[in-house]
Amino acid sequence: MNKILFLKNYFLIILLFFLLFINKVFCKNIELIHVDSVQKNEKFLFLIGKIHLKYNEYHIFCDKAIYYKKINKFYGYGKVKLISKKSKIFSKKIEYISRPSSILRFSGRSKLYQKNTKLFAHTINFFLKKKLFQAINHVIFYHNNIKLKTNILEYDLKSKKLFYKNGAFINYNKLNIYSKKGIFYENKKKVELKDGVKIFDKNYIIYSNAIEYSFQKKIINFYTTCIIKKENNKNNLDSSNNFISSKKMSFFLQKKRFIFRENYKIYYNGKVFIGNFLIFDQKKRQISFNHLSLINKNNKKEKFYLLFKKGFGIFDLNKKFLFLKEEPNIDIKYKKSSVSIHADVIKIYVKKNFSYLIHILSVKNFILNKYIKVKCKLLIFDSSKKKIKLFGNPVILIKNEKFDGKNFSIDLSNLIIN
């Protein structure tokens, strides 16, 4: 009986010393905590059954492992997992490479789990010294309501930044976004996207080269020229030739509202409107603005153009007309004729051939070529006919000579008043 106890104790002592020996000659910086059985030769160590390794705060588990002594490499197989306080990684294979930098490589349907975060990829490289995760091939990343797909994704544990450089598709709050480069700032709760940015929603596509997305405020700020475009629509007025561009823009996601702050342009059925401040309400399909003028596609003033100097305007995309209020001022120019109008309300209807039918109510001031002045209750201007009609007992002053009547018409082509 004493011999049996002696042999058991002797065997345990030998096994303990053997494990300690293995720990000393095993992978540098990696500690062997447990293994069921060990086989060795001059080149390899074979570990079998319930393998438990430790590297700093990271615990590694697998079923089988091979350690190459000369090159200091370790391969693990089976149900591989890495566990720390904040992360868990699961895969079919694990590889430790000491040179040129310490890397743990997980491959074969690799999965990483953190709080509110999931990452799936074929391969996950963990650069131990740099504290950097790198996911490669068929990468899918989930964080809260974000879903990201790419081929290479990296996460810096020190700076808490997630970034990609080879293109990615992002899905967030029913928006689909593509960009070539992107950086997620975990602490600041924002993302910066660059190069070939495209934002797809149900109705429009937005193009830009640099945007910043704040998750807390739910605002997308565009820092380079951006374009909003609606494509593949049967309605001619919303065709691919009609879009809005701006140097700077903000998109409020909850309100579905765009705000253009600098040098915007509206391309609409062959014409171009320009201005400095505009709000596009996607829900109401309305465009609101303070200043707006019409130019041609070559950025030159046309022989005929409109300029809205003052007043708040609404462009209704459903009814297809402009509504100006708050005592707007507009200029109408055609060839040598110049008209300046100040009124209470102005309505501009857009025709199929992009001519205008303008209704102006309560004309307070109407000046034609500086020497003709008009006051009336209603003015109608048809741009296709180049004629202005005056209603409601209009009064005309031509070089201080007064003319009044029930109705008048002015032909801008020949400057004839009837």
Gyration radius (Cα) of the chain, Å: 36
**Is the pLDDT assigned to residue 405 strictly greater than 60?**
yes
- Using an 8 Å Cβ cutoff, are 374 and 364 in contact? no
- Using an 8 Å Cβ cutoff, are 389 and 379 in contact? yes
Taking only the tens place, the pLDDT of each residue in 12-29 is 333 333 333 334 334 556
Six token digits for residue 201 = 């929603």
Nearest to 288 by CA among 263, 342, 324, 239: 324
**Is the pLDDT assigned to residue 241 strictly greater than 80?**
no
Q: Which residues have CB under 8 Å from 350's CB, separation 6+?
A: 237, 268, 269, 320, 321, 322, 356
In the prediction, which pLDDT does 136 show?
Answer: 94
Lowest mean pLDDT among 13-17, 75-79, 129-133: 13-17
Lowest mean pLDDT among 3-17, 233-247, 289-303: 3-17
Overall average pLDDT of the 110-125 stretch: 89
**Is the pLDDT assigned to residue 255 strictly greater than 80?**
yes
Q: Which residues have CB under 8 Å from 203's CB, separation 6+?
A: 230, 282
**Percentage of the chain with pLDDT > 70?**
82
Domain ranges for the chain, please list them: 303-418
Binned at pLDDT 50, 70 and 90, residue 9 comes out as very low
**Is the pLDDT assigned to residue 306 strictly greater than 70?**
no
- Using an 8 Å Cβ cutoff, are 43 and 69 in contact? yes
Residue 4, SS3?
helix
Q: How many whole angstroms separate alpha carbon 162 and alpha carbon 74?
A: 28
Q: How many whole angstroms separate alpha carbon 197 and alpha carbon 181?
A: 9
Across 44-99, the runs of DSSP E, i.e. the strands, are: 44-55, 58-68, 73-83, 88-97
Q: How many whole angstroms separate alpha carbon 211 and alpha carbon 249?
A: 9
pLDDT, the chain, mean? 78
In the prediction, which pLDDT does 50 show?
Answer: 87
**Is the pLDDT assigned to residue 305 strictly greater than 60?**
no
Taking only the tens place, the pLDDT of each residue in 184-203 is 887 778 889 999 999 887 77
The CATH class that applies to domain 303-418 reads mainly beta
Of 303 and 416, more confident: 416
Taking only the tens place, the pLDDT of each residue in 61-71 is 999 988 887 77
Taking only the tens place, the pLDDT of each residue in 338-375 is 778 888 888 887 766 656 778 888 887 788 777 788 88
In the prediction, which pLDDT does 135 show?
Answer: 93
Of 49 and 327, more confident: 49
